[in-house]
């Protein structure tokens, strides 16, 4: 099913690619959590917590968390990272 040129890509390169996405999604999830915590203690934060904003923040957190999990599992279970 793979093209001939794709077979020349080493597994460690694919794993490292997904590992980079794992780290990026981990940072995004952390920023969402820190931003929410900052908004909760901020005096202007009460204006930010509309139901719509809260829903989209939770949605972003779920997507980033799920991506983080699966990018890590792709790399760890099927390939072995070299980073």
Q: Report domain extents, the chain.
A: 11-78
Residue 54: predicted pLDDT: 79
pTM above 0.85, yes or no: no
> Is residue 75 over pLDDT 80?
no
Please return the burial class of 74, using the count of CB atoms within 10 Å of its CB with bins 0-12, 13-18 and 19+.
Answer: middle
DSSP state of 43: T
60: confidence class by pLDDT, cuts 50, 70, 90: confident
> Is residue 26 over pLDDT 80?
yes
> Is residue 45 over pLDDT 70?
no
């Amino acid at each position: 099913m793979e093209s001939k040129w794709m077979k020349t890509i080493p597994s460690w390169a694919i794993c490292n690619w997904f590992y980079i996405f794992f780290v990026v999604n981990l940072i995004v999830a952390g920023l969402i959590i820190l931003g929410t915590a900052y908004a909760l203690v901020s005096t202007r934060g009460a204006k930010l917590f509309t139901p719509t904003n809260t829903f989209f923040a939770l949605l972003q957190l779920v997507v980033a968390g799920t991506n983080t999990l699966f990018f890590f599992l792709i790399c760890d279970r099927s390939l072995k990272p070299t980073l």
